Amino acid sequence: MLSDPKSIFAVYVGESKMQGIIQGNRKEVLVRYISQWLQPQVGDEVVTSGLDGIFFEGIKVGVVSKVIEEESSKTVVITPYVTPHVPSYMHVIK
User: Tens digit of pLDDT for each residue in 5-60?
Assistant: 788 999 999 999 999 999 988 888 999 999 999 999 999 999 999 999 999 999 99
What are the tens digits of pLDDT across the range 68-89? 999 999 999 999 998 766 666 7
Locate the DSSP E strands across the chain: 8-13, 18-24, 29-35, 45-48, 60-69, 73-80
- The pTM (predicted TM-score) of the whole model is 0.83
Q: Mean pLDDT in the chain? A: 91
Helix (H) / strand (E) element for 64: namely strand 60-69
The number of residues making up the chain comes to 94
The reported pLDDT for the residue numbered 46 is 97
How far is residue 47 CA from its own chain's centroid? 8
**Residue 91: CB atoms within 10 Å:** 5
The reported pLDDT for the residue numbered 91 is 79
Q: Which domains does the chain have, with CATH numbers?
A: 8-80 (2.40.10.350)
